Structure 1
Amino acid sequence: MADVRDGVGVYLSVYLLTVRNWQPDEIGIVIAVPGLVGILVQPPAGALIDRTKYKRWLLVVASVIIALCCLMIIVSSGFWPVLISQALVGLIQSVYAPAVAAITLGIVGHSLLSKRIGRNESFNHLGNMLAAIICGLIGRFISYEGIFYFSIIQCVLLIAAVFVIREKDIDHNLARGAGEATQTTDVAGVKSLLSNRNILVFTIAMALFHLSNAAILPLVGQKMGLVDKQNSSLYLSAAIIMAQGVMVFVAKFAGTAAENGRKKVLLVAFLLLPVRALLFAFIDNPYVLTGIQLLDGIGAGLFGVISILMIADLSKGTGRFNLLQGVVYSAMGLAVSLSSILAGFVVKNFGYPIGFVTLAGIGGLGSLFFLFVVPETKDIATTQQVDKHSGTASMHDKDTVRQMAADKAGI
């Protein structure tokens, strides 16, 4: 699912600029739409995943729709068809991350979650790296439209992979962060989640991270396209390949390092953001721009693992894991959309250097907020402590059994 859930991701930005000759502000609006739609659907999508036992089928249906959206981009050149396709991407991609995280938790439990999420993210980044290699070659030697056809093929392969997962291996109570005795009706709403200060400040920090980070790579792609239109897809692919290659190893490390605390690991990702944006602001050489993406590999590799673990920490024992994922991803989606719109406006009126400096300033603010306001979440006492039901104990018991079985199997 690595390269599927974003609906061709950053390549759409370069495609619209270099092939369709769109203006930066139009591109910013289209790129922002998935995030705007995700703001509305992420919380209910999380609540649905908490309740449903058809998590695998949600991934299948989502992949079919993403494939159709890629096809729509190929056959339609107008603003509105592309806008509609990206709105559908925003509606559907909200399913991927929480569904896979839920299935993972339902299979391994909390005690093995950090190592398994690290492993998940390593494979995720490996998939992105391989996809970027193929997309770069397709865009350079065939056509940019070929990248969208390749994404359709990926959707088909994802559907096949989903059916390899055995339904009987998924504990759906554990998959929503609950124990066997916790009832579905105990799942709290958004208001209850946000009444917890730790959850609120964590959500704000995640939004600030994406407000700074989301527009950086699309802007870099546009900058490369203006410097060397013919080879822009190769430069962009090289940047993604290098970053994703780093992420494969960083994600594995993050899963292990997180056992000694989440915050200090994620703080590194926050601090790298403003540094990376400032470097992009004042450098035009496409080879150097490509190399700077190594910093994104470190930051994103850490973020992808630790953010999920912190959400699991904050919702442990409540039966609210996927709902909380939805709330946090909704805030992140809002930030992604605002980032694209803000960057498009600033670049159009003041140029690319000022656009990157603006994003760097937001990244610095987010780093300070995370450092001084967000608490360490490993073993934190959160809302589950006020839950009077016996689900928490049941979940812990089940985690212990799973850990013993894993130790016996040598995992």
Structure 2
Amino acid sequence: MEAQGRSVKGLDWVSLLMADVKDGVGVYLSVFLLTVRRWEPDEIGIVIAAPGIVGILVQAPAGALIDRTTYKRWLLVGASLIIAACCLVVVLSTGFTPILVSQLVVGLTQSVYAPCVAAITLGIVGHSLLAQRIGRNESCNHLGNMLAAIAAGLIGRFISYEGIFYFSIAQCLALVAAVFIIREQDIDHCLARGAEKDEKEADAAGVKTLLSNRKILVFTVAMALFHLANGAMLPLVGQKMGLVDPQNSSLYLSAAIIIAQGVMVFVANYAGRAAENGRKKVLVLAYLLLPVRALLFAFIDNPYALTAIQLLDGIGAGLFGVLSILMIADLSKGTGRFNLLQGVVYSAIGLAAALSSILGGFVVKHFGYPIGFASLAAIGGLGLLFYWFFVPETKDSSTDQEIEAVEAHASAVPQ
């Protein structure tokens, strides 16, 4: 138990340090290209969308690989070193092509992080403790994002925007060290892929089999609609802040991320506990807040107000990060393809986020920021309706029903 406790602590550190690493500094690239390199919004949209486009192609195969391999820790190590190299390319290159290629490579490697950490978590704690553990993982991850945003904001404001990328490289190296805190012998690789027993079949379930399940199909569509509305939102807000006050844009953007991530730390912990009583009713709040946030961004220009609105993103993303993984675990339980299903869902999310960035950049260039955000709000409203009317509850309540039946039978027996 003491040894496994070390691995659980390792999960804390990996989740904390994985923060910005998995996205290759994410939204800061958008502002860097706009304010430092003076790129056009549509060019920025293409580069920001590049990782998602690659993810569409590799996410499902990456999930299948994670199901099969017993070298999950080494996948995280390799991905982190590659992300570090891509950050270095962004700093040293000025042309469109090298930076685009670096982001395509980011998309290839970042597909490993979420399913691999979730698989290792499931392999260590099992299904019964997964909800609370995923909540803790997400809390640590959001705390890491918050601390990284504080550091990045200060570096971007008082040193240079390039310094943010060097900071991300340092995070990558620290993550490599954290991965080795997790002990290989504490990971049950059979359990890590959602198998209920030590089955040897390599093809317990394939993509076609998974998607033939209506519950899985509608869930995947709902996840995609959420990110079609959400994917371009923060990068566009960062651009809007950069145009209003270029000198302080990194501070505004960092403050927005800090507010959101700070809220997520607490929301993720709550979500892990609340999800024990059902998944759907908890996640619906994230869908409700998405169009509201987009409409506020459409009609408000004050950078302080834009920053404050990110409170809503903190609530929605905190819920989504926990509940999406738990619902995938519910839907894949017993199939032996937990990570493959993660890959399929994340492929749909990657496609949606990429289309969101391209659509957002195009609409903003031709019609302005208010129409761009209003378009995202309309998509968010559609996603809310689809989720509520078509996605079922995924938590298996058969055990609870059996207990209730036994209690009802006992109460009916004459004393």
TM range (shorter): over 0.9
How far has the Cα of 1:380 moved from its partner? 7.0
Residue 283 of structure 2 aligns with which residue? 266
Which residue of the other structure, out of 73, 76, 92, is the alignment partner of 1:75?
92
How far has the Cα of 1:3 moved from its partner? 1.3
Alpha-carbon displacement from aligned partner over 1:324-364 (angstroms, at most 9, x marks no partner): 00000000000000000000000000000000000000000
SS of equivalent residue, structure 2 residue 20:
coil
Aligned pairs for 1:8-27 (under 5 A) are: 8-27=25-44
Please tell me the residue identity of whatever aligns with 1:231: N
Contact 1:103 1:175 in 2 (8 A): yes
Quick one: distance in 2 between partners of 1:68 and 1:111? 39
Residue 185 of structure 1 aligns with which residue? 202
Alpha-carbon displacement from aligned partner over 1:54-80 (angstroms, at most 9, x marks no partner): 000000000000000000001100000
Alpha-carbon displacement from aligned partner over 1:193-221 (angstroms, at most 9, x marks no partner): 10000000000000000000010000000
Please tell me the residue identity of whatever aligns with 1:369: F
The answer to whether structure 1 residue 28 and structure 2 residue 53 are counterparts is: no
Which residue of the other structure, out of 154, 157, 162, is the alignment partner of 1:145?
162
In the superposition, the TM-score normalised over structure 2's length comes to 0.91
Please tell me the residue identity of whatever aligns with 2:258: I
Residue 402 of structure 2 aligns with which residue? none
SS of equivalent residue, structure 2 residue 73:
helix
Residue 39 of structure 1 aligns with which residue? 56
How far has the Cα of 1:182 moved from its partner? 1.9
Aligned pairs for 1:52-201 (under 5 A) are: 52-201=69-218
Residue 405 of structure 1 aligns with which residue? none
Residue 291 of structure 1 aligns with which residue? 308
Contact 1:313 1:380 in 2 (8 A): no
Quick one: distance in 1 between partners of 2:51 and 2:201? 30
Aligned residues: 381
Contact 2:68 2:202 in 1 (8 A): no
Contact 1:51 1:184 in 2 (8 A): no
Residue 12 of structure 2 aligns with which residue? none
Quick one: distance in 2 between partners of 1:254 and 1:102? 19
Quick one: distance in 2 between partners of 1:2 and 1:378? 28
The answer to whether structure 1 residue 354 and structure 2 residue 378 are counterparts is: no
Alpha-carbon displacement from aligned partner over 1:359-382 (angstroms, at most 9, x marks no partner): 00000000000000000000179x
Question: In angstroms, what is the RMSD of aligned CA positions?
Answer: 0.8
Quick one: distance in 2 between partners of 1:39 and 1:110? 28
Quick one: distance in 2 between partners of 1:8 and 1:184? 39
Aligned pairs for 1:245-256 (under 5 A) are: 245-256=262-273
How far has the Cα of 1:184 moved from its partner? 3.8
How far has the Cα of 1:2 moved from its partner? 1.2
The answer to whether structure 1 residue 275 and structure 2 residue 277 are counterparts is: no
Please tell me the residue identity of whatever aligns with 2:77: V
Quick one: distance in 1 between partners of 2:176 and 2:83? 12
Which residue of the other structure, out of 213, 216, 227, is the alignment partner of 2:233?
216
**Taking structure 1 as reference, are residues 218 and 370 closer, same or farther at Cα in structure 2, changes over 3 Å only?**
same
Contact 1:245 1:297 in 2 (8 A): yes
Any stretches of 5+ residues in structure 1 without a counterpart?
Answer: 382-411
Quick one: distance in 2 between partners of 1:187 and 1:57? 24
The answer to whether structure 1 residue 244 and structure 2 residue 261 are counterparts is: yes
Residue 389 of structure 2 aligns with which residue? 372
SS of equivalent residue, structure 2 residue 202:
helix
How far has the Cα of 1:187 moved from its partner? 2.4
Quick one: distance in 2 between partners of 1:292 and 1:199? 32
Quick one: distance in 2 between partners of 1:73 and 1:235? 22
Any stretches of 5+ residues in structure 2 without a counterpart?
Answer: 1-17, 399-415
Alpha-carbon displacement from aligned partner over 1:17-39 (angstroms, at most 9, x marks no partner): 00000000000000000000000
Quick one: distance in 2 between partners of 1:376 and 1:182? 28
